[in-house]
């Protein structure tokens, strides 16, 4: 039976069996993303549809020819046919387009049965209602989001090892003292934050990472998750908590001996002893090795004299400085006139009446861009004498005869070993920044799932912000990246907590990861602010404070630009060691790698491969990112080597390649993050959630590759066709994840009462 269908345009003849395909073909050609793999999917489905005649199949397949696409007049006829049917598009249907196609067909013919072949096309092409609902001039029964995935189930996957203790902490945070509010007066904000920290300590949360003997559970991984959750409450609270228990307490735990643990650690965990971490100096921020504060050993009195020698050598930006009774002060240790390098010394600052001791001067840093609930200050020492026992001496001691001794003879190795024990703080900073991005994304996306703006003048109701492709492209790839970075930081903290070997490797890894993740957080929060328009600018909606509070994360615990160079130098050091130790075999391996890269770049079949299976494949993402990393490593090493061969000092050679090293550090960090994330996903049980996590990884991976598309094009790794396809796939994946975006932000596990921004509720 055939439909004779008249309009002012043309007459078209469509069979009863062919008609349900019309809405699909209209979406396919309107989408303008018909790759070879998608054509194969549609052709296979058509071939297996027994309801179609051979003539129908021939007609449908002819419409799949990209070289001879359907004429515009034909496509307009399809649209008119769909509009005249009066069918309603119900987005909550399991297969909304297939169900809609049946309704369109039913208007013209007798009832149609479910077509499994069309369902296969809908599933495999990833066609989502929000991608095509604006194409049809029909009534749309709208669903803001799908409940196919459970946010709590995702949360359980992301936080599996520590979920029990995290959930206990979430319940603890229901105490009204943690309710977010606007605090513009720094003195009032500081008093509240101190009370919050003391309450946390009273319930044992501050000491979580300490040994059992000192009130803890030896659980630094859960401690890092607690720190992250405190960012959901208030950035100032998270930082003051981190300074007291992580930095000050952590320096005692990791750099001190049993003597220091017994005398100070339990009191620190209970906030009976408030302390600060005095490393940064006005004249020396990231250059810890170059700090000027001295600790000179006086053998006659068995004491250390702490002194600030110059005008810009004072300790600067020290958190907890105004509340502290004691400081962990990083100094140049002088023994018998010789500098033994950087060591930490516990220096009492104030008495029980909170009066500063003689020789100590402390000033308030005043108001800052953000984190004004943290009492940052400057500290000067003028010939302050403390007992030699106050030296945190795990890695270097002064014996009874006044001689310095250390099990690590090499000063460089001793310095990096000491700093390596503090890497946990750097991971927490990255987790804190990421937490800020998570809550900003949650607020902006929940707002976009309610806020409507504009329409096509045909519909009565305006469209949701989240249904605009531009809005999806602004926020959904960042949600994907936040998932990747969450899993990566969980892995980093696990490796750090369980590593008994030299921590130089994890220090290199964390230096790079901290940089790319804190920069990601800064960019994401800004994007969220803009995505919320003027509402995002209001203090009550929290994004303004999140923006200001996390901005400093890019420079404290190490300036990101410096840290990326540190990561790059670690990579080059490993590269040199591998070549030197491996001899001829390593040289052959390097040449083989170069040859394989060359084959990849000159093979048009690879550089222009655009099918979905390839572009979504983790192997492609890892290969592309690893290719960039290896090429940057190789070229950086060769440039430095050539400069040195010309007689240029190594330090100057590094300066000449500084921008190159930054890209190397970033390339190293990006491939490391992608590798760790896919290892995390591969460890999950088979099922829909694992597939979801792979799709999230694909969006992140393609977004990173797309960001460096110019470089890949220059190298010949991508052809222009593939570069364009990657851009289109980023857009398509964002669309595919759009129905699940509410579940994804719920998967962060942020307690509802902490998502307090009015625009999100």
Q: Full-prediction pTM beyond 0.85?
A: yes
What is the structure's pLDDT at 608? 82
Q: What is the pLDDT of residue 459?
A: 47
pLDDT at 463: 77
Pairing of strands 360-364, 404-405: unpaired
Q: How confident is the model at residue 158 (pLDDT cuts 50, 70, 90)?
A: very high
Mean pLDDT, rounded, for 263-269:
98
In the structure, what pLDDT confidence band is assigned to residue 557 with cuts at 50, 70 and 90?
A: confident
Asked if residues 5 and 11 have their Cβ atoms less than 8 Å apart, the reply is: yes
pLDDT tens digit sequence for 367-423: 999 999 999 999 999 999 999 999 999 999 999 999 999 998 888 888 888 887 779
Comparing 16-25, 356-365, 703-712, the range with the smallest average pLDDT is: 16-25
Flag the least confident range among 37-41, 209-213, 237-241.
Answer: 37-41
Rounded to 5°, angle at Cα 228 from 224 and 231: 145
* Average pLDDT of the residues in 106-120: 86
Distance from C-alpha of 449 to C-alpha of 742, rounded to nearest angstrom: 8
Residue 330 pLDDT more than 70?
yes
Question: How many of the other CB atoms lie within 10 Å of CB of 565?
Answer: 22
Q: For residue 185, what pLDDT is reported?
A: 96
Secondary-structure percent of the chain, ordered helix, strand, coil, rounded to 5: 60, 10, 30
Q: Considering only CA atoms, which of 49, 121, 128 is closest in space to residue 96? A: 128
CB atoms within 10 A of CB 399: 8
DSSP letter string, 309-321? -STT-SEEEETTT
Q: What is the pLDDT of residue 606?
A: 75
Contact 180, 758 (CB under 8 A): no
Compute the distance between CA of residue 278 and CA of residue 242 in angstroms, rounded to an integer.
14
In the chain, the domains with their CATH numbers are 2-141 (no CATH), 275-417 (2.40.110.10), 425-746 (1.20.140.10)
Partners of 620 in the β-ladder: none
Q: 87 and 103 in contact (C-beta within 8 Å)?
A: yes
pLDDT at 45: 94
**Which neighbouring-strand residues pair with 307?**
294
Q: Which residues pair with 345 in a beta bridge?
A: 329, 391
Q: Specify the pLDDT at position 3.
A: 41
- pLDDT band with cut points at 50, 70 and 90 for residue 596: low
- 4: pLDDT strictly greater than 50: no
Q: Which helix (H) or strand (E) holds 299?
A: none
- Residues contacting residue 428 through CB under 8 Å, at least 6 positions apart: 224, 227, 228, 242, 246
| pLDDT tens readout for residues 441-466 | 999 999 999 887 766 554 445 778 89
Task: Tell whether the model's pLDDT for residue 144 goes beyond 90.
Answer: no
Q: Give the model's pLDDT for residue 585.
A: 46
Q: What is the torsional sign of CA 747, 751, 757, 761?
A: positive
Place of tokens 């307009």: 76
pLDDT score for 588:
44
Half-sphere exposure of 719 (CA within 13 A, CB side): 12
| Residue in 207, 182, 179 with CA at minimum distance from that of residue 195 | 179
Mean pLDDT of 611-620: 93
For the cut 90, the answer to whether the pLDDT of residue 166 exceeds it is yes
Strand-pair partners of 13: 4
**Distance of alpha carbon 116 from alpha carbon 122, whole angstroms:** 10
Which one, of 377, 375, 374, 384, lies nearest residue 348 by Cα? 384
Give percent above pLDDT 70 in the chain.
92
Here the tokens at position 228 are 């992250």
Report the chain's mean pLDDT, rounded to a whole number: 90
Residues 6+ apart with CB under 8 A from 164: none
Nearest to 130 by CA among 620, 523, 471, 516: 471
Estimate to the nearest angstrom the gap between the alpha carbon of 261 and the chain centroid: 34
CA dihedral 671, 672, 674, 676 (to 10 degrees): 160
């Amino acid at each position: 039976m055939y439909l004779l269908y008249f309009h002012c345009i043309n007459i078209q003849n469509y069979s009863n069996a062919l008609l349900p395909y019309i809405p699909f073909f209209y979406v396919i050609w309107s989408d303008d993303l018909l790759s070879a793999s998608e054509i194969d999917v549609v052709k296979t489905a058509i071939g297996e549809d027994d309801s179609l005649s051979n003539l129908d199949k021939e007609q449908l397949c002819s419409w799949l020819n990209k070289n001879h696409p359907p004429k515009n007049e034909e496509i307009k006829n399809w649209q008119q046919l769909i509009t005249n049917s009066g069918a309603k598009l119900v987005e909550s249907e399991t297969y909304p387009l297939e169900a809609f196609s049946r309704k369109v067909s039913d208007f013209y013919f007798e009832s149609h049965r479910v077509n499994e072949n069309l369902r296969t096309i809908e599933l495999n092409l990833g066609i989502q209602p929000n991608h095509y609902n604006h194409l049809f001039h029909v009534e749309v029964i709208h669903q803001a989001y799908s409940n196919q995935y459970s946010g709590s189930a995702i949360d359980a996957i992301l936080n599996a090892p520590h979920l029990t203790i995290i959930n206990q902490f979430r319940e603890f945070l229901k105490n009204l003292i943690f309710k977010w509010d606007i605090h513009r007066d720094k003195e009032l904000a500081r008093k509240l934050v101190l009370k919050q920290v003391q309450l946390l300590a009273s319930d044992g949360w501050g000491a979580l990472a300490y040994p059992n003997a000192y009130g803890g559970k030896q659980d630094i991984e859960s401690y890092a998750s607690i720190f992250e959750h405190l960012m959901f409450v208030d950035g100032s609270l998270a930082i003051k908590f981190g300074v007291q228990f992580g930095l000050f307490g952590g320096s005692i735990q990791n750099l001190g001996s049993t003597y220091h643990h017994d005398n100070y650690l339990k009191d620190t965990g209970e906030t009976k002893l408030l302390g600060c971490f005095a490393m940064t100096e006005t004249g020396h921020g990231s250059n810890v090795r170059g700090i000027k504060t001295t600790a000179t050993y006086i053998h006659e009195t068995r004491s250390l004299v702490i002194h600030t020698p110059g005008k810009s050598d004072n300790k600067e930006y020290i958190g907890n400085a105004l509340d502290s009774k004691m400081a962990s002060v990083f100094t140049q240790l002088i023994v018998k006139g010789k500098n033994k390098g950087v060591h930490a010394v516990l220096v009492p600052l104030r008495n029980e009446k909170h009066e500063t001791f003689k020789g100590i001067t402390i000033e308030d840093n005043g108001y800052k861009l953000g984190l004004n609930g943290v009492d940052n200050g400057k500290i000067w020492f003028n010939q302050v004498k403390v007992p030699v026992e106050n030296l945190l001496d795990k890695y270097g001691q002064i014996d009874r005869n006044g001689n310095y001794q250390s099990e690590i003879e090499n000063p460089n190795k001793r310095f990096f070993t000491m700093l390596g024990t503090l890497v946990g703080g750097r991971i927490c900073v990255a987790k804190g920044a990421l937490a800020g991005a998570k809550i900003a994304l949650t607020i902006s996306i929940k707002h976009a799932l309610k806020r409507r703006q504009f329409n096509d003048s045909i519909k009565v109701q305006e469209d949701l912000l989240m249904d605009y492709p531009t809005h999806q492209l602004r926020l959904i790839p960042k949600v994907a990246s936040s998932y990747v970075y969450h899993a990566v930081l969980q892995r980093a903290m696990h490796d750090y907590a369980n590593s008994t070997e030299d921590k130089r490797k994890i220090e290199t890894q964390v230096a790079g990861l901290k940089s790319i993740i804190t920069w990601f957080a800064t960019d994401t929060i800004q994007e969220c602010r803009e995505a919320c328009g003027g509402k995002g600018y209001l203090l009550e909606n929290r994004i303004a404070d999140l923006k200001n509070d996390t901005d400093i994360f890019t420079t404290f615990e190490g300036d990101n630009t410096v840290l990326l160079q540190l990561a790059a130098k670690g990579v080059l050091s490993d590269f040199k060691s591998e070549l030197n130790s491996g001899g001829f075999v390593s040289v052959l391996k390097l040449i083989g790698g170069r040859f394989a890269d060359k084959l990849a770049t000159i093979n048009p079949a690879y550089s222009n491969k655009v099918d979905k299976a390839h572009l979504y494949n983790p192997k492609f993402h890892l290969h592309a990112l690893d290719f960039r990393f290896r090429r940057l490593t190789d070229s950086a090493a060769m440039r430095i080597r050539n400069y040195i061969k010309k007689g240029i000092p190594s330090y100057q050679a590094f300066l000449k390649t500084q921008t190159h090293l930054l890209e190397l550090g970033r390339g190293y960090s990006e491939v490391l993050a992608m590798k760790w994330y896919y290892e995390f996903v591969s460890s999950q049980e088979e099922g829909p959630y694992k597939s979801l996590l792979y799709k999230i990884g694909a969006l992140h991976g393609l977004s990173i590759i797309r960001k460096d598309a110019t470089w890949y094009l220059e190298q010949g790794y991508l052809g222009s066709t593939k570069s364009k396809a990657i851009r289109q796939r980023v857009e398509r994946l964002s669309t595919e994840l759009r129905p699940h975006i509410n579940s994804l932000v719920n998967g962060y596990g942020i307690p509802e009462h902490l998502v307090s921004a009015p625009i999100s509720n």
